[in-house]
Structure 1
Amino acid sequence: MTPRPEVAVRAFAELGEGPTWDAAAERLIWVDILSARVHTYHPSTGRRTVMAAGQHVGAAKPRAGGGLVTVLRDGIGLYDDRGAFSWLVHAPVPGRRGNDAAVAPDGALWAGSMRYDEAEGGGNLARIAPDGSVTGVLDSVTVSNGTGWSPDGRLMYYIDTPTRRIDVFDVDGERVTGRRPFAVVEPGSGWPDGLTVDAEGGVWVAFWDGAAVRRYRPDGRLDRVVELPVRRPTACAFGGPGLRDLYISTARTGLEAPHPLSGSLLVLPDVGQGLSGTPFAG
């Protein structure tokens, strides 16, 4: 029986995104893109922190040496373990901002972008090495969102939301090839947004305007639909003791009458087994 969603953090995020488990600190990291805030939450104690990012922040991930790597409007920023900021990549593009991101098994950051007006093909997906060198992966992306790897690291899953697809690639070292549909979403189910992969190779996807998260089996078949009390879940990630709890970020932006829990961080307790994440190596 699938657990019922619970409230982990009651919040009013405009555009909550990118939950990520930081194993070293035993905390969950998530962002509010439009409010330019980075949030942390320690499930064992209930402790929370909020940090101003200075500009719109699409994602924040733990670094191997402590601190955070952030995907900002104008590039990739680093915070050390004392909170001091520096740019790793500073490459502003007018009208465009960073969006969702993920850290690959080799410790590189794969970061997406999109235009504020969501113009077709206005974003991209790039690989950022620990030394700050940037390699383009995909051009002409519209809304770059969920990215994740199979348990053996041989496959990469990816979502460009307006396509209504979850795509899969073969991983060849630092490159991905053989893009093909993994799952196609039927109209009326919402829009695929952020994703995470569990230890069995199942792909969990948050559905914007779909009020649900869905799990797809490794062969792409729909396995489970978990309905949520909010219309706009944005992303999901396993965390907590043993990586058994699925945390879900949500948004309230654009809703005339948002549900009282819209913008909160939700959790599905003991819903599956997550994979250990890799911190950014830079």
Structure 2
Amino acid sequence: MRAQVAEVAVREWASLGEGATWDPATGRLIWVDILACRVHTYDPASGRRTVMTTEQHVGAAKPRAGGGLVVNLQEGVGLYDTDGVFSWLARRPVPGRRGNDAAVAADGALWAGTMRYDETAGGGSLSRFAPDGAAIEVFGDVAVSNGTGWSPDGLLMYYVDSPTRRVDVCRMSGELPLDRRPFVTVEPGAGFPDGLTVDAEGCVWVTFWDGARLCRYTPRGDLDRTLELPVRRPTACAFGGPGLRDLYITTARTGLSRPHPLSGSLLVVPDAGEGMPSAAFGG
């Protein structure tokens, strides 16, 4: 196997880049800068970029089935239509709390996480939002809700609450996860698991905040591959590009006294593997 090296897709000075998401309908990579209230898009075929500013901190932005975006904001989940007009899907402001990472399941539901700004244990949650806005709180005792993804057959869900230093796995029963248990546990000093994606072979790719790396785990939880990165704080990853073979990685520079020159940029590992098509939010 040839050496896999991360390259620069978009050189950017994002404070807290997050939420890498491939939109197959437009052939673009969507990602956010949470603290700058910005949603970025990048078309690797043309090099074209766009930047949209939101009114609040934005933890994630995902494509909608009919066009536009669903966004996980400071005060709840909102919608942008194709003309950029905004409306709330579910507004639930809680002082000191904001939206963080999110994911869309195969059925078109949005799974959106929250966290307190001070990262207090139990101050965050993970909720499932149906396309009509009906919401169910899935996990309520969360500190920093992060990566969420599903196995290719949809029978398993993977989930990260970063301060626990674990990637957990759950058995899906209908629309909800059951039997949450540790899938991977990380030793102190190795960084914190952050965003994740699941590839076509059912392996789980995890970024490590303060770990300067990205790891691939087999469906049994065995470490299969480690990709060292030039930046200390990678935050999320997603497959995109032709054949969903390029792995895009968002990064952050917030909190670093001497960030690497590429901290905050969007990175890419060409031909890293094979991803799964991502679903669009059904609302």
Q: Distance in 1 between matches of 2:17 and 2:231?
A: 12
Secondary structure of the 1:193 match is strand
Cα deviation for residue 155 of structure 1 reads 0.2
Counterpart for residue 61 of structure 2: 60
- Between the two proteins, the alignment pairs up a number of residues equal to 282
Q: Distance in 1 between matches of 2:275 and 2:143?
A: 29
Q: Distance in 2 between matches of 1:220 and 1:120?
A: 25
Counterpart for residue 8 of structure 1: 9
Cα deviation for residue 189 of structure 1 reads 1.2
Q: Distance in 2 between matches of 1:164 and 1:117?
A: 17
Counterpart for residue 139 of structure 1: 140
Amino acid aligned to 1:35: A
Counterpart for residue 151 of structure 2: 150
Amino acid aligned to 1:201: G
Cα deviation for residue 140 of structure 1 reads 1.2
Counterpart for residue 230 of structure 1: 231
1:21-58 per-residue CA deviation (whole Å, 9 max, x = no partner) reads 00000000000000000000000000000000111000
Contact (CA 8 Å) 1:2, 1:226: kept in 2 or not? no
C-alpha root-mean-square deviation of aligned residues, in Å?
0.5
Structure 2 residue 254 is matched with structure 1 residue 253: yes
Counterpart for residue 126 of structure 2: 125
Secondary structure of the 1:176 match is strand
Unaligned runs of 5+ in 2: none
Contact (CA 8 Å) 1:146, 1:194: kept in 2 or not? yes
Counterpart for residue 40 of structure 1: 41
Counterpart for residue 109 of structure 2: 108
Counterpart for residue 85 of structure 2: 84
Q: Distance in 2 between matches of 1:47 and 1:54?
A: 24
Counterpart for residue 275 of structure 2: 274
Q: Distance in 2 between matches of 1:67 and 1:244?
A: 25
Q: Distance in 2 between matches of 1:187 and 1:266?
A: 26
Secondary structure of the 1:138 match is strand
Secondary structure of the 2:243 match is helix
Q: Distance in 2 between matches of 1:181 and 1:89?
A: 31
Amino acid aligned to 1:255: L
Alignment of structure 1 residues 24-39 onto 2, 5 Å: 24-39=25-40
Counterpart for residue 203 of structure 1: 204
Amino acid aligned to 2:18: E
1:140-172 per-residue CA deviation (whole Å, 9 max, x = no partner) reads 100000000000000000000011000000001
- State percent identity of aligned pairs: 70
1:115-140 per-residue CA deviation (whole Å, 9 max, x = no partner) reads 00111110000000100111010011
Q: Distance in 2 between matches of 1:54 and 1:272?
A: 36
Q: Distance in 2 between matches of 1:69 and 1:18?
A: 12
Cα deviation for residue 180 of structure 1 reads 0.7
Contact (CA 8 Å) 1:201, 1:218: kept in 2 or not? yes
TM-score, L = length of structure 2: 0.99
Runs of 4+ with deviation above 3 angstroms: none
Secondary structure of the 2:200 match is coil
Q: Distance in 2 between matches of 1:257 and 1:97?
A: 26
Amino acid aligned to 1:37: R
Unaligned runs of 5+ in 1: none
Cα deviation for residue 188 of structure 1 reads 1.8
Cα deviation for residue 235 of structure 1 reads 0.5
Amino acid aligned to 2:199: D
Amino acid aligned to 1:215: R
TM-score, L = length of structure 1: 0.99
Q: Distance in 1 between matches of 2:29 and 2:224?
A: 26
Cα deviation for residue 2 of structure 1 reads 3.4
Q: Distance in 1 between matches of 2:24 and 2:84?
A: 19
Q: Distance in 1 between matches of 2:182 and 2:145?
A: 16
